[in-house]
Amino acid sequence: MCCSALVASPAEPATVVNAANLMPGTSHLPGSAALRIGRARLAAHDTPRSGAMTSGRNRGLVQTVLGPVPPSELGATTTHEHLHIDFSRMYRPAQDSPSEELADAPITLGNLGWIRRHYYSNRSNLQLTDLDTAIEEVRKFREVGGGAIVDATSTGISRNPEALARISRETGVHVVMGSGFYVAAAHPEDMDERGVEDLAQEIVGDIVEGVGDSGVRAGIIGEVGCTWPLDPNERKSLLAAAIAQRETGAAILIHPGRDEDAPLEILDVLAGGGADVERVIMGHLDRTVFEFEALRRIAESGCYLEWDLFGNEGSYYPRAEVDMPSDAQRLDFIRRIADAGYPERIVIAQDIFTKHRLIRYGGHGYGHVFENIVPTMRRKGFPEDVIRAITVDNPARILALA
């Protein structure tokens, strides 16, 4: 792939259809009290850190797979998706249902209901590797007002920089690529022997020089995978992410372990490694934190709060120990923490990593947040400036290199 192709700018963003008033250039409506509180809390942190080792050309810009762009160009953004991923190593047979004959079956209307319930138990469902399908789905995201997507695919689950560059180029949607290491089960075989500094320099290389020989640069560190209890190699990965953040100015995106104490433990590890916690996105809060006071403690750390499982609702969640909230319940939780003074620390997404959630296979697609959730936010009385903060301004701020 020629270098000129990698720095070409995406086409101009499409006109917003269902996410009206979210794109750049739209004037703010009067600010809510909660939003003013959030802005006051952030005022001291808007200036880029002097110690960041990004070049002067990239500091303050968002590094996409086609090159750096001003944050104002992103538009409506989902901060945690997967456009090209092979999650096959996470396959597991269904425990409560005969599954051998369905494990390798193609997705059909006849088995879609079963796959929705057991989406880790069909190998084809775990593979998003068809580029034409990805382009088709991302075009639909753009048609409903989407401007940018963070592809959170990290090392070990088939990150494909060339594919992401082509998707962005052919759809006009900005794509920010992830870096770093996923959970221990997906770590490289030599992870036990590698040191923190070695891991950190691999992440730095992805951001500063590009992944491998592709020339395509990552723009965020993550998703950095953690389990509960925290695996020793995952702790190394977190410390490496902290070093890489200091050297590049990139934000860190976290996949926490499945325990309500996991987010704060992870933040402690990152802070101990010298990371700027206010440049960390704590993902998967939907399935991790269910008590408001626990959520408030995480918010008080200064990190960003990410509800990234929109469209993945209770009836279909395969883990019986978790009562997955509905989209409406997610919004109620988000409204409560926004009203508590944290509207400028919230981002949202869908974390699509399986076929059954794509439009082609009967799902809601990458545009669900803008096609369905934003209108629901309005019906629930979210102020327009809070909606814009969550979908446009907050992603733009955290994705800009510090």
- CATH number, domain of 220, equals 3.20.20.140
Please check whether residue 97 lies inside any domain of the structure. no
- Residue-number span of the structural domain to which 313 is assigned: 25-42+59-84+129-399
| H or E element that contains 235 | helix 232-248
pLDDT tens per residue across span 62-103: 999 999 999 999 999 999 999 999 998 888 888 777 667 899
Quote the pTM value: 0.88
The pLDDT of residue 320: 58
The pLDDT of residue 31: 38
DSSP 400: B
Cα dihedral value 80, 55, 53, 303, nearest 10: -30
Return the ∠ at Cα 231 (arms to 228 and 237), rounded to 5°: 115
Q: Are 173 and 138 in contact (CB under 8 A)?
A: yes
List all residues 6 or more positions away from 185 whose beta carbon is below 8 Å from its beta carbon: 89, 90
Please check whether residue 365 lies inside any domain of the structure. yes
Please check whether residue 100 lies inside any domain of the structure. no
Angle formed by the axes of helices 292-300 and 327-339, nearest 10°:
50
pLDDT tens per residue across span 114-159: 999 899 999 999 999 999 999 999 999 999 999 999 999 999 899 9
With 70 as the cut, is the pLDDT of residue 1 above it? no
Please check whether residue 209 lies inside any domain of the structure. yes
The strand pairing partners of 174, in sequence order, are 148
pLDDT tens per residue across span 12-29: 444 344 454 564 433 333
| CA-wise closest residue to 349 among 146, 168, 86, 165 | 146
The pLDDT of residue 98: 67
The pLDDT of residue 64: 99
The pLDDT of residue 314: 66
Confidence band for 256, pLDDT divided at 50, 70 and 90: very high
With 60 as the cut, is the pLDDT of residue 37 above it? no
Average pLDDT over residues 183-192: 97
With 80 as the cut, is the pLDDT of residue 351 above it? yes
What percent of the chain stands above pLDDT 70?
83
Confidence band for 385, pLDDT divided at 50, 70 and 90: very high
The pLDDT of residue 344: 99
Please check whether residue 108 lies inside any domain of the structure. no
Please check whether residue 65 lies inside any domain of the structure. yes
Please check whether residue 49 lies inside any domain of the structure. no
Please check whether residue 296 lies inside any domain of the structure. yes
Confidence band for 46, pLDDT divided at 50, 70 and 90: very low
Average pLDDT over residues 247-259: 98
The pLDDT of residue 74: 99
With 80 as the cut, is the pLDDT of residue 11 above it? no
Would residue 8 be called left, alpha or beta, if left means φ above 0 and alpha means ψ between -120 and 50 degrees? beta
Domain tally, the chain = 1
With 60 as the cut, is the pLDDT of residue 108 above it? yes
The pLDDT of residue 190: 98
* Weakest-pLDDT range from 23-37, 51-65, 294-308, 342-356: 23-37
Tallying the residues shown for the chain, one arrives at 402
| CA-wise closest residue to 28 among 392, 399, 396 | 392
- Average pLDDT over the chain reads 88
With 90 as the cut, is the pLDDT of residue 259 above it? yes
Is residue 381 helix, strand or coil?
coil
